[in-house]
């Protein structure tokens, strides 16, 4: 039985599953990620 965690700030319950570690990248239908990886960012904070 995997341990269920609760984020104290939001109450979100989550269980860590190492099977998800096999995921190395993402492909979205909108191709937004590819667009952003090529983009220039001007960050002023």
Partner 1 sequence: MNYPKYDTTVDSQTLIFEFVSNGTNGSIDKAIKYECVNDDHQIYNLCFGDKTGIDELTGELKIDDIIVSNNGDIEKVLATVASSAYVFSEKYPERIIYFSGSTASRTRLYRKAINKEYEEISKTFNIFGAVIVDGKYTTVPFERDGNYDGFFITLKNEKETY
| Shortest distance (Å) from residue 31 CB to partner 1 | 10
Residues that bind partner 1 (CB under 8 A): 4, 7, 9-18, 20-30, 32-33, 36-37, 39-45
20: number of CA atoms within 13 Å, CB side?
4
| Shortest distance (Å) from residue 24 CB to partner 1 | 4
Q: From CA 13, how far away is CA 26, in angstroms rounded?
A: 23
Of 1 and 23, CB closest to partner 1 = 23
Does residue 13 come out as left (phi exceeding 0), alpha (psi in the -120 to 50 range) or beta?
beta
| Shortest distance (Å) from residue 11 CB to partner 1 | 7
């Amino acid at each position: 039985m995997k341990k269920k965690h609760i984020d104290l700030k939001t109450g979100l319950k989550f269980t860590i599953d190492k099977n998800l570690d096999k995921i190395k990248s993402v492909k979205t239908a909108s191709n937004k990620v590819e667009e952003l990886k090529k983009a220039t960012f001007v960050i002023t904070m």
